[in-house]
Amino acid sequence: MKTPSFVETLYPLRTGRRTPVTGLSSDVLSQSARRLGILAALYAFVFFMSDPLLAILFSEERARFLSSPIRWAPSTIAIAMALLVVVLTWSRGIAVKTVLSWGLAFEVAASFGIAAAQFLDASRYTAEPPWAGLSWVAVWMSSFTVLIPSPPRRALAAALASAAAVPLTVGFVMAADLTPLQITPFRFFVQLVLPYLLVVLIAYVGARVVYNLGAELNRARELGSYLLVERLGEGGMGEVWRARHRILARPAAIKLMRPEVLGGSAMERESLSLRFEREAQATASMRSPHTIELYDFGIADDGTFYYVMEFLDGFDLQVLIDQFGPIPSERAVYLLTQICHSLGEAHAEGLIHRDIKPANVYVCRHGREPDFIKVLDFGLVKSQHNAVGGELTLTMDHSLHGTPAFMAPEQVLGDRPLDGRSDIYAVGCLAYWLVTGHLVFSGRTPMEIMVQHTQTKPVPPSLRTELAISRAFDDLIMACLEKNPDHRPPTAEILAARLATVETTNKWTQQNAQKWWDVHHPRQSRVA
C-alpha cells in the first residue's frame, strides 16, 4: 500500500486523495462562536431600532407600542434572548461546541421572533396581505447558515424549523380569527410554505459549502502525522504553528514556509529556501538540552519546507522583561549560563548564531525543571569552516544580517571574519537587557543604533537600574560589550566559567524558580 506523500496530505483536493471529513478545527469553531456573539448583538440592535426606540422617542408610538402584549412582547423577548446569547459567547466556562449548539436553537427562536413581530399584529392585515413576498426570516436564515458553520444535517434541521416560523405565525392568526383575510390551503402553501422551502434549500447548500471548506482547511493542516492546530506567529522565515501528533500525546511546534510566501525572483526564492533548510540542519545537529530540539523536517513536492520541533511551555526573554520587568542578577546569571552551554556546542561545531536576542531565547518549564533555557531560530547561523559542497553561509557580500540592537561592531562593519565572539557580544547585550530592561543603545533608526555599537562606549548596567548588580557582574557584562573582539571572553565556555564566579546577594535555586513559575505562569494556563 502506497503511503501518501506530504504534498498529498497537505493538499488532498489537488492530488485527488480524500480523507474522511474530521470536522472543523478548534480555532474555526472559536471564530464561529465569536461571530455568533456579533450576530446576536446585531440582531438585538436591529430589533431595538425598529420598535422600542420609536416608543421611547415619540409619545404616540409609545401608546401604540404599549397598548397590547402582541406589540411589545415579540421585540422585548427577542432582544433579551439575543443579549443572553451574547453573554453565553463571552463566557469562558462554557465549551465552544455547546455555545454553537445553543446558537442553532437561537437561529430558530430568532426566526419566530421576527415572524411574530411582523405578522402577529392583526391590525397590519389589510386588503394587501402582509406576508406578500419573503420576510426578514429568509434573510436571517441565509445569513446565519453562512456565518455560523454547522454540520450540514444540523443546519438543515435548524433551517426547516426556522422556515416554519412564518407559516405557523400566519396560520395562528387566521385560525384565531384575528384577521378577516382568508386564504385557500393551496394558496397558503404556494405563498407561505414553498418560498421558505426554497430558502431552506439555499441555506442547506450554503451550509454544506461553508462546512466542507472548513473541513478541507482542517485536512490541509495535516502534515504527515501532525495536525496544525493554531498559528502562533509569522515572520520573514515563514509561519510557526502549534501542532499535535495524531497518535502520540506529545505537543509540537511546526515551522513552515510555503512557496507563495517566498515571492521575489527565482534566485531570491531559492536563497530563502536554502536558508530555511540550513536552519533546520543547524538545529538538528545540536545535542545541547538548551538548544531547541528538532523532531523532523522535510520538503514537499511543491516546495513547501517544514520542520517539527518541541513545543515550549513558557515565553521568550522579550516577553519576560516586558511583562515582569528586569530580573535580579542571580537569576540573570542562571539563565545566561544556560545560553552559554547552547552556544558553546554551536561554536565547537564552527557555527555562529549571529542573531542572539531576547525573542530568540526561551525560558520555560522543561519537564519538572523551571527556568530552563532554550536557544532557537538558527536561521542566520554561519559556519566558520567550509562545509561539504561549499560554504554553509548564504549571505551575500557586504550584506548585513542580524538585529541592530544586538549586533557586534565587526558584524556591522564587516571588517573582519566573524567568530563565536560576535555571539558573546550579543550575550552581553542580552545580559544588559535582563538586568536593566533597557537596550544597550537606542536610536531613531537602525543605522543610528548600529553606529553606536561601533563607536559609543555603553553606560554600565549598574547605572541604569535600581536592582543590585555586583562589581564583578557589571565588569563581566562590559567585557562582553568590548568593541574589540580580542578583549571579550574568548569562548562561551570561558564566559560560563566567569559567570560561575560572580558573587550575588542571593542564590537562584530551583525552589525560587518553581515559586516564580507557580505564581506567574501556572501549568493550568497551558490549557488555554
Active site residues: 355
101 vs 152: CA distance, rounded Å: 13
Query: How many degrees, rounded to 5, is the angle at CA 294 between CA 285 and CA 408?
Result: 60
Are 256 and 304 in contact by the 8 Å Cβ rule? The answer is yes
CA distance 308 to 292: 11
d(CA 279, CA 376): 10
Report CA-CA distances (Å) from 375 to 70, 343, 360, 478: 68, 8, 6, 22
Which residues in 51-64 are b (16+ Cβ under 10 Å) and which e?
Answer: bbeebeeeeeeeeb
For residues 151 and 405, give the distance between their C-alpha atoms in angstroms, rounded to a whole number.
51
Residue 140: closest CA among 167, 165, 169, 119: 165
> 23 burial class (0-12, 13-18, 19+ CB within 10 angstroms)?
middle
Do residues 134 and 198 lie in contact, with contact meaning Cβ atoms separated by under 8 Å? no
State the cell numbers at 235: 515572520
CA distances from 495 to 193, 195, 477, 488, 490 (A): 82, 79, 10, 9, 8
| Residue partners of 321: CB distance under 8 A and separation at least 6 | 327, 358, 433, 434, 437
Beta strands (DSSP E) in 129-225 are 222-223
Strand duo 294-299 + 313-316: pairing: unpaired
Consecutive H or E run containing 307: strand 305-310
Query: Of all helices (H) and strands (E), which one includes residue 448?
Result: helix 446-455
Is residue 210 classed as helix, strand or coil in its secondary structure? helix
Taking alpha carbons only, the member of 108, 30, 116, 41 closest to residue 75 is 116
Buried b (16+ CB within 10 A) or exposed e, 241-258: bebbeeeeeebbbbbbbe
Separation CA 162–CA 207 (nearest Å) = 14
Residue 315 CB burial class (10 angstroms; 0-12, 13-18, ≥19): middle
